[in-house]
Chains A and B, each alone.
Chain A
Amino acid sequence: MGRLFNHPLAAPALIALIVIACGFGLGSNFYLRVAALVWISALAAIGLNLLMGFAGQVSLGHAGFFGIGAYAVAVGPNVLPVSPLLALVLGIALAAVIAYLVGRPILKLKGHYLAVATLGFGILVYMVLSNESGLTGGPDGMPVSRATLFGWRLKGVDTWYWITGGVLVVGAWVAVNLVRSPTGRALRALHDSEVAARVVGVDVARYKLVAFVVSAVYTALAGGLLALFNGFITPDVAGFMHSIEFVVMVVLGGMGSIVGSLVGAAILIALPQALSAFQEYEHLALGLILMVFMIFLRKGIVPSLVALAGRGR
């Protein structure tokens, strides 16, 4: 069992099984739609987890990258002769470049200072998206044109369910590859001791930047997928609350756990739906549940449960 857990393909395989099982198990379009939203958020959370859980660098502004990906898909085809899918690729590249330029100065900061600087970045993106009404439609948002792939129009909840689920599985696989590579070891090393990482040859500043850019790419991809899936977006996708939700997904599911990011995303997306029966007490219940989870599973859900299972053996 332990060996199965440790296999490089364990996390992506488990996530693939979940996606397939839900794909055939969830009968209604409503549930498939919620699940697709979970896959999209999980993708962003995995990206942020690479930065926070593995490299140990916080970001309270990752929704900014999500917004860049989403709006690249929405605005791109209106201003450039590009298809929505090509616009998605350009949006991801743009997010990577911006992450590189923003990351260089701010990743010199640590802890709370880095938190505030990334928060500032997120606010900046949000302000640009909601103020540039001519391009973005302002606070009211804008429609997104349908994507086509080889002449095939990508529409319908089930189509997008499988697209987002597939991208999530590939994203999880790539993340696991990274974590187990020399780059991943450098990231995990600098998380525990920057000075020790440096004296064995790790260029700490460079690897923080690598983590920041890779996580921005994941998050921008997720944002682009949401725009294509939803067909409409508002600047709130880049908003402060959305950044916080990503952080909560990572921490709640478990820092440094790829499967944990999926669990965190599932709870944050699905729980409000389930709790909507409580009406005005919905947020109260959600807050209470988050607190109880963190108090009793303080390392995050997945790592804590794995530790419990290990002790049980």
Chain B
Amino acid sequence: MTALSVRDIGISFGGVKAVDSVSFDVEEGSIFSIIGPNGAGKTTLFNLISGVYLPKAGTVSLFGEDVTGVAPNRLVARGLSRTFQNLQIFFRMTVAENVMVGRHLKEARGIVPHLLSLPSVVRQNRDSRTEAIRLLDRIGLAGRADDLAANLPYGELKRLEIARALATEPKILLLDEPAAGCNPKETEDIERLIEAIAADGVTVVLVEHDMRLVMRISNRLHVLDYGKTLASGTAEDVRTNPEVIKAYLGTHGAEEAARARR
């Protein structure tokens, strides 16, 4: 089944077409990567899919249902969540609380029980925390659950965003440069994490510049340049596409991408 379908989507900022008539389908349970040079429109595309921006043209569908223009918080209820290229952490909250916010739609949200801290709310807080710790354990941060998020190093915050998104129990997860700024060890951890997430049946849409990582784990790739689709296909198709090599990979990048296979 097609988990995510994007059709002729586009948006411009002050006359600049940041995303221009882009279309693709993402198969359920697959890892689908979007690559391209800086400024190609990858993050903007994520903003369009996740409802942060309203597209000027085109449609977005999740599991066959048109969700174009649906607010981000409503898309979460339909199984979509995401992370951000530039960290969007709740810095004044603890690490565990950051993940607990991801449980929001799974929690009873009546305000009066919250004001009175009824036993049901206390129980639910405990359950949300247990789930948060389980997810933190998965990204290796359970030991820092009660630290203020502001006190974590960059690489750990990147993973914290993934745990927070996972807390929503997504069916589709958009990851915007999860390995950016991470050291090789952290990058390897993130690669394994993404594979494990996909193995659980979650569809992953990935934006990432680390070509070794991308080429190793993606089922399909989509290449953007100046907001337009440059190429689309398997890692092999993309790696050997002369247009892609010229615009993005370069000869060095293509070699690196090729090495990823071995």
B: interface residue count bin: 35 or more
Q: Does chain A have a CB within 8 A of B164?
A: yes
Q: Does chain B have a CB within 8 A of A186?
A: yes
A175: nearest residue on chain B (CB-CB)? B115
Please, what's the 1-or-0 string for A202-216, where 1 marks a CB less than 8 Å from any CB in chain B?
A: 111000001000100
Report the bound CA distance from A186 to B128 in whole Å. Answer: 13
Q: Does chain A have a CB within 8 A of B259?
A: no
Q: Does chain B have a CB within 8 A of A181?
A: yes
Q: Does chain B have a CB within 8 A of A180?
A: yes
Determine whether the beta carbon of B91 is less than 8 Å from that of A182. Answer: no
Report the bound CA distance from A183 to B90 in whole Å. Answer: 15
A217: nearest residue on chain B (CB-CB)? B115
B128: nearest residue on chain A (CB-CB)? A182
Determine whether the beta carbon of A195 is less than 8 Å from that of B52. Answer: yes
Interface residues of A in 185-235 (CB under 8 A from B): 185-186, 188-189, 191-193, 195-204, 210, 214
Report the bound CA distance from A64 to B14 in whole Å. Answer: 41
Interface residues of B in 100-120 (CB under 8 A from A): 100-105, 107-109, 111, 113-117
Determine whether the beta carbon of B115 is less than 8 Å from that of A177. Answer: yes
Which A residues touch B128, using CB under 8 A?
A: 182
Q: Does chain A have a CB within 8 A of B239?
A: no
A182: nearest residue on chain B (CB-CB)? B107
Interface-located stretch among B21-29, B59-67, B68-76: B68-76
Q: Does chain A have a CB within 8 A of B30?
A: no
Number of A-B contacts (CB under 8 A): 108
Determine whether the beta carbon of B101 is less than 8 Å from that of A199. Answer: no
Report the bound CA distance from A195 to B52 in whole Å. Answer: 8
Task: Give the interface centre of A8, A198, A199 by most chain B CB atoms within 10 Å.
Answer: A199
Q: Does chain B have a CB within 8 A of A128?
A: no
Report the bound CA distance from A196 to B90 in whole Å. Answer: 8
Q: Which residue in A181, A192, A193 is a CB contact (below 8 Å) of B121?
A: A181
Which B residues touch A198, using CB under 8 A?
A: 52, 71-73
Report the bound CA distance from A192 to B101 in whole Å. Answer: 12
Report the bound CA distance from A192 to B157 in whole Å. Answer: 14
Report the bound CA distance from A197 to B93 in whole Å. Answer: 13
Report the bound CA distance from A214 to B107 in whole Å. Answer: 20
Q: Which residue in A8, A189, A196, A200 is a CB contact (below 8 Å) of B167?
A: A200
A6: nearest residue on chain B (CB-CB)? B146
A-B contact pairs, 14 of them (CB 8 A): A183-B111, A185-B97, A185-B101, A186-B101, A186-B104, A192-B90, A195-B84, A196-B84, A197-B90, A198-B52, A199-B73, A200-B76, A200-B101, A203-B71
Q: Which residues of B come within 8 Å of A, CB atoms?
A: 50, 52, 71-73, 75-77, 81-82, 84, 88-93, 97, 100-105, 107-109, 111, 113-117, 121, 124-125, 128, 161, 164-165, 167-168
For the complex of A and B, list the 4 residue pairs with the smallest distance between their C-beta atoms, beginning with the closest: A181-B114, A196-B88, A201-B76, A177-B117
